[in-house]
Amino acid sequence: MTEGKLLSVKEIGQHNSPSDCWIVVDGQVWDLTEFHQEHPGGPAIILKYAGRDASKAYNEAHSPSVIKKTLRQDQFKGVLDYSTINSEWLKQPPTENSRVMLDNEKPPLTTLINAHDFETVASKTVSKKTWAFYSSAATDLITRDANKSCFDRIWFRPRVMRNVRSIDMRTTVQGTDLSFPLFVSPAAMARMIHPDGECAIARACESKGIMQGVSNNSSFSVEELVQAAPNGSFFFQLYVNPNREKSAELLHQISSLPQFKAVHITVDAAWPGKREADERVKADEDMGVPMSNVKAKNDTKGGGIGRLMSGNIDPGLTWDDIAFVRKHTHLPVCLKGVMSADDAILAMEAGVDGLLLSNHGGRNLDTSPPSIITLLELHRRCPEIFDKMEIYVDSGIRRGTDILKAIALGATAVGMGRSMLFATNYGQEGVEHLIDSKFTLPFFL
């Protein structure tokens, strides 16, 4: 698709309205008139670049293959005639965010020694939009903060005089061997922080022998992730689409790749949470539609990137839909986002293969219980569940002591999401460095 009619910037610029919208991505001209209303990130970001070059904005969030796989052949209009480029064409939108610090101003990776360090660096080096999306949580941040503080309130009773010259921390998740009971929780749009995005995470997980959860809103396709880490292990986080045919097609695609070991149905995000830090960037550059002089305005629905990405999530999801997922995959089916023993019991009765106790990192319903509290509740209300399925925990994991506490309380493995995104600021090497940051030390102590 590299060949096609040469199109001048003047001709491209004439297609600059919602009813006639062309954009340029990496020199290729596409007609997005039909697609912009279906865009998971909302139409505004596309319409902002109508009749213009959207390569920079596109490449911050998507891999090169996404547009070719998403659009039809007839929506490809031709290629940009570079000889017609003028100074007006090269101008960036006036509200384009710049990084607070340049990449070469980031501190050396060797000076970062824990997850908190990666978060601090990210807060100073990524764009305002990226930081808001990654760091935001629902309303008063009570659940987000409690996720960590509840781990801090659990005390060890260390036992001494044990031979710990060598310990075996290997485990299995749905039959897949892991070097350590840790996985990367699914987190969307990793390319916003590094060009390699989820591919960098995949390569790091492959090299360290842990599993990667892939978001339904990943910047890269599942085929690209498997190509990046052919010996890696993945599970897929599924948001069930209102159009069940699209979910069925996606499940068949995942199931055809042997590197994918399970499907996790997301059950805690029927509607987008009110992430106020994320909402505050909605009137920034991505929310303006310059050719119509329309700017995003505050409303009562919440906003930001998280809200815009929720358009392909079915709020009508019920327990009956587990059978639909089972019908379209041979992989183990788990539920991601269980927050009560009552639902865990229903999941056990439904015969699912695993539960990921998660409150979405505190990003959806504030004052939802911390996952470690839900884990304790399972012991009190339905202890038999630990013999019937695998139980995973995420939300609030920052230290090796957090991992050890969850494992000691019955979890099969634990996940880290935000921290891995912040480590991706340094690419594959950053994620590997975080995984190596003495997470295993408490297991010796």
| pLDDT band, residue 288 (cuts 50/70/90) | very low
Average pLDDT over the chain, rounded to whole?
Answer: 88
Domain coordinates in residue numbering, the chain: 6-90, 109-278+310-444
Instruction: Identify the active-site residue in 53, 117, 196, 268.
Output: 268
In tens, the pLDDT along 182-240 reads 999 998 899 999 999 999 999 999 999 999 999 998 999 999 999 999 999 999 999 99
Model pLDDT, residue 56: 86
Model pLDDT, residue 291: 30
Domain 109-278+310-444 coded CATH 2.30.40.10: no
Instruction: Identify the active-site residue in 49, 134, 239, 426.
Output: 239
| pLDDT band, residue 297 (cuts 50/70/90) | very low
User: Is pLDDT of 293 > 60?
Assistant: no
Model pLDDT, residue 100: 47
Decide if 252 is catalytic. Answer: no
d(CA 75, CA 18): 15
Model pLDDT, residue 234: 98
User: Is pLDDT of 84 > 50?
Assistant: yes
Decide if 239 is catalytic. Answer: yes
Asked whether the whole model's pTM tops 0.95, one would answer no
| pLDDT band, residue 392 (cuts 50/70/90) | very high
Query: How, if at all, do strands 354-357 and 333-338 pair?
Result: parallel
The CATH code belonging to domain 6-90 is 3.10.120.10
Instruction: Identify the active-site residue in 36, 62, 360, 433.
Output: 360
Number of Cβ within a 10 Å radius of residue 277? 16
User: Is pLDDT of 433 > 80?
Assistant: yes
Decide if 328 is catalytic. Answer: no
Model pLDDT, residue 444: 82
Mean pLDDT of 114-126: 95
Model pLDDT, residue 57: 85
In tens, the pLDDT along 345-369 reads 999 999 999 999 999 888 888 999 9
